[in-house]
Every structure is written in C-alpha cells, then in structure tokens.
Amino acid sequence: MDDFIRDLPKAELHLHIEGTLEPELMFAIAKRNRVPLRFGSVDEVRRAYQFSNLQDFLDIYYEGAKVLLVERDFYDLTWAYLERAHADGVRHAEIFFDPQTHTDRGVAFETVGTGIHRALADAEHKLRMSSELILCFLRHLSADAADATLTQALPFKDWIVAVGLDSSEVGHPPRDFRAVFDRARAAGFLSVAHAGEEGPPEYVWEALDLLKALRIDHGVRSIEDPKLIERLLAHHVPLTVCPLSNVKLRVFDTMADHNLRRLMELGLCVTINSDDPAYFGGYVAENYRAARDALGLTREEIIHLARNSFLASFLNPMDKRARLEDVDRFVADHAGER
C-alpha cells in the first residue's frame, strides 16, 4: 500500500516553493552566496523546527529564504522540489511563490520568476511533469505593497496562472486585499486564498465572496459553520488540505484529531498536499500515508483523493481528463494488490 500511495498519479496544489528549502540546500546556497546563517549545522536547523503556531514557523521560514539571492538559487530550489515530487507520483504541481519575501531584500522579481520558471520548463521536458505558478501576496504586509507586487508581475503574466494570499492569517482578513484581487482578476489571473487555517470561518466567506477564490487553501475551520459548508458544496470549491502542516503548526493536536475525513464525508472536494515539506517532515506521499494511518483511510478513499487533486487543479479540461485516465489505468494495473 505504501508503494501504491507513492506511485499513484497525483497533483500537488498547495506547495510553497520557499517551504521546500531543505537544510542541506540552505547551507550549500548560503556558502556560495556568503550569507551568514545563525545555525551551525544541518542538524541544528532541523532541531529548531518545533513550532507552536503558524507565526513561529513563518519566522524561521522567512529567515531561511534569505539565502536565496540569484536566479540559480531559485532554479536549484525549484528543481530539487520537482525531482522529489516526481518520486512521489506528482504529475502536475501548482506552486506558490512569495515574491515579496525576496523583492523586499533587493532581489528583482525577474530573478525569482525566471529561476523558478526555467526549472518548471525543464520538468516539463525531462520529467513529463506539468505545472502552474501561483503568486502569493503576503497578508502581513499592506494592500499597497501587494498592489505594487502585482504591477511587477504583469510583464511575467504568461508564467503565472493565479494569485493567492498567505502568511500570518489572524488579524489580516481577506477583505483587506479585495481591491488588489479585483485588479488581478481583471488582468486575467485566477484567484485562491489561504483561509480557515488558524483564522475563523468568516475569513473563508470573505475569500469566496470578496476575493472570488476558486479554491480555499487549508479551509479546515470551515467545518465550524454549516452554512459555509453548504456554500463550498454548492459552488464546488475544493479545499487544499495539508495534514502534516496542520499537526506541526498545532491546528490539530494529533493526526488522529484531523478533520480531513469528516470534510470528505460532508462531500467536499478535499485534496492532500504538503505545504512546506522541508519544514513539516514529509512530502506529499508522506502526507497521504500519515492521514491514512491516523484516520484509517481506505484504498478507495486514497484513490478518490488523488482524483480530486486533478479535478481541483487549473488544468484545462482535456489535460484533466487525460490525468484522470492515468489514475484509472494505474488503479486497474494494481487491482488485486494490497
């Protein structure tokens, strides 16, 4: 079953590229860029990855990203993720990047975008993996700063499918970013948003009503509001759930407490993703395994989750159908195995 989960064709829809920076690569890039790190070793970095909430994690995540300076760094980071994801059966990835984390340090938007884009183009050819890029605005910064970032992104519009909203959730409601999302959608971007991770169901309503989010990233707190569940169901809004992240950031005390299965039972289109795998102890297949082990997911439910990952993606209908057929073929080829 573990090999089955690993090799099952799947899409990953909630993945921050900066969250794939493994300590080994962090050290290697820091060395070549002569950036000082406050950690003495890879082990020391890993030992520091104990978080009591989202902010705790974000502090260390933004610090790690400081080693990324030139195009090659963004290429190497992205390529390392793509190879790792490929080994986990990922056939299509929709990847978040946080340009403000870099532009605020003097790294040009173009440097970030080009490095990531080149790796995605290589994955298309060398790994037969398709991908999309989603620009996230940092919600702890101002709406004006988000607006300036959108302006910087416009020359690279063809590389970016959607805008998103991430970083510190509580106290930074989606309504603050309504105007910049309006502008982004007018420019042709789709929209998604992190909501209902630590923040209340009200933030999920705002992401839907004001930002016109087509997917909700996390969204696990939606379960507190039955009317919101009805809305998500009626409008077929998928949730990109990240089980290991939610336990690491103490959204749930243990994996057995996670509501992923309850969300599925309500009929929602739930997907499993890794969020920031270098920090949370597992890539996407490990997230499927951990959820299966703690929640007793059946083989059929695992297959359903993999199908959802393609259904919830921004692939065009033809490619979506082809990827779903890949899943069906894989399942048929492995029928009878347990």
Among the listed residues 139, 131, 182, the one whose alpha carbon sits nearest the alpha carbon of residue 159: 131
Going from the C-alpha of 36 to that of each of 28, 39, 68, 72, the distances in angstroms are 12, 9, 12, 19
CB 223 within 8 A of CB 258: no
The site partner of 54 among ligand ADE, Zn ion, none (C-beta below 5 to 8 Å per kind) is ligand ADE
Instruction: In angstroms, give the least distance from the CB of 165 to ligand ADE.
Output: 9
Strand pairing report for 193-195 and 216-218: parallel
Cα 17 to its chain centre, rounded Å, is: 8
Q: Identify whether the C-beta of residue 89 lies closer than 8 Å to the C-beta of residue 334.
A: no
Neighbours of 52 (CB within 10 A): 10
Closest CA relative to residue 73, chosen from 129, 35, 100: 35
Q: Can you give the length of the chain in residues?
A: 338
Q: How many CA atoms lie within 13 A of 87 on its CB side?
A: 8
- Cβ 154 to ligand ADE shortest distance, Å: 23
Q: Which is nearer to ligand ADE, 142 or 330 (CB)?
A: 142
CB of 161 to ligand ADE, least distance (A): 18
In the complex with Zn ion, the residue whose CB is nearer, 18 or 275, is: 275
Q: Residue 66: helix, strand or coil by DSSP?
A: helix
Catalytic residues: 197
Alpha carbon distance 196, 8 (integer Å) = 29
Supply the minimum distance, in Å, between the C-beta of residue 89 and ligand ADE. Answer: 22
Element of type H or E holding 95? strand 90-97
Is residue 113 within the footprint of ligand ADE (CB under 6 A)? no
Residue 197 contact among ligand ADE, Zn ion, none, beta carbon within 5 to 8 Å by kind: ligand ADE
Q: Which is nearer to ligand ADE, 245 or 313 (CB)?
A: 245
Judged by CB under 5 A, the stretch of 34-42, 56-64, 275-283, 295-303 that binds Zn ion is: 275-283
* Helices and strands: H and E segment counts in the chain: 17, 9
Task: Judge contact between 130 and 124, C-beta under 8 A.
Answer: yes
Conformational region of residue 333, where left means phi above 0, alpha means psi within -120 to 50, and beta covers everything else:
alpha
**Separation CA 286–CA 283 (nearest Å):** 5
Residue 71 or 166 with smaller CB distance to Zn ion = 166
What is the nearest approach in angstroms of Zn ion to the Cβ of residue 159? 20
User: In the range 243-282, which residues lie near ligand ADE by CB under 6 A?
Assistant: 245, 275-276
Q: Judged by CB under 6 A, does residue 194 bind ligand ADE?
A: yes
Q: Least separation, in Å, of the C-beta of 217 and Zn ion?
A: 5
Which residues lie below 8 Å from residue 295, measured CB to CB, with a gap of 6+?
255, 256, 258, 260, 261
* From 22, 71, 197, 301, residue interacting with ligand ADE (rule: CB under 6 A): 197
Among 12, 73, 76, 275, binds Zn ion (CB under 5 A): 275
Give the residue closest to ligand ADE by C-beta: 166
Question: What character string, x for contact with Zn ion (CB under 5 A) and - otherwise, covers 224-263?
Answer: ----------------------------------------
Residues 8-67 touching ligand ADE, rule: CB under 6 A, are 16, 19, 54, 61
Between 96 and 189, CB nearer to ligand ADE: 96
Kindly state whether residue 166 participates in binding ligand ADE, applying the rule CB under 6 A: yes
CB nearer to ligand ADE: pick between 12 and 276: 276
Residue ranges that bind Zn ion, judged by CB under 5 A: 275
Residue ranges that bind ligand ADE, judged by CB under 6 A: 16, 19, 54, 61, 166-167, 194, 197, 245, 275-276
